[in-house]
Amino acid sequence: MMRLKYYLVLTLLLTSSGWAIEDEAATPVAQLSLDDLRSFTDVFNQVRSNFIEEVDDHTLLNAAIRGMLSELDPHSSYMEADRFRQLENNSQGRYTGIGVEVVIRDRKIVVVAVKDEGPAQKAGVTFGDVITSIDGSAIGGRNLQMAIDSLRGELGSEVTVSFMRKNGEVSEHVLLRDYVNINSVFSRPVDEDYGYFRVTHFTRNSAEELLEQIEHMKEQFNRPMLGVVLDLRGNPGGVLKPAIDMADGFLDQGLIMYTRGRAPNQLEFSASPGQWLDAVPMVVLVDRGSASASEVLAGALQDQGRAVIVGEKTFGKGSVQSVLNLRNGSGLRLTTSRYYTPSGRSIQAEGIIPDVEIVPFELVEDTDARKREEDLERHLSGERQISPRISSSEVSANDDYAMHQALILLKAANKFSAAGRQAVDG
Residue 171's DSSP bridge partners are 163
The answer to whether residue 355 is catalytic is no
Q: Map 119-147 to HEC letters.
A: HHHHCCCCCCCEEEEECCEECCCCCHHHH
Which amino acid makes up residue 288? R
Cβ(347)–Cβ(340) below 8 Å: yes
Q: Which residues contact 294 (CB under 8 A, 6 or more apart)?
A: 199, 202, 232, 235, 236, 237, 243, 286, 314
Cα gap 189→229, rounded to integer Å: 10
Cα gap 278→265, rounded to integer Å: 33
Assign 331 to helix, strand or coil. Answer: strand
What does 209-225 look like in DSSP terms, one character per residue? Answer: HHHHHHHHHHHHH-S--
Angle at 358 between CA 214 and CA 213, to 5 degrees: 10
Which entry of 187, 292, 330, 346 is annotated as an active-site residue? 292
Cα gap 37→284, rounded to integer Å: 52
Which amino acid makes up residue 256? I
The answer to whether residue 303 is catalytic is yes
Residue 5 parent element (H or E): helix 2-16
Assign 48 to helix, strand or coil. Answer: helix
Which entry of 77, 313, 317, 337 is annotated as an active-site residue? 317
Which amino acid makes up residue 249? G
Sign of CA dihedral 365, 369, 372, 377: positive
Residue 123's DSSP bridge partners are none
The total number of residues written for the chain in this structure = 426
The answer to whether residue 317 is catalytic is yes
Q: Which residues contact 129 (CB under 8 A, 6 or more apart)?
A: 110, 111, 163, 164, 165, 166
Which entry of 73, 178, 248, 303 is annotated as an active-site residue? 303
Cα gap 43→65, rounded to integer Å: 14
Do the strands 194-199 and 185-190 form a parallel or antiparallel pair, or are they unpaired? Answer: antiparallel
What does 342-377 look like in DSSP terms, one character per residue? Answer: TTS-B-TTT-PPPSEE-PPP-SS---GGG--GGGST
Cβ(390)–Cβ(303) below 8 Å: yes
Residues involved in catalysis:
292, 303, 317
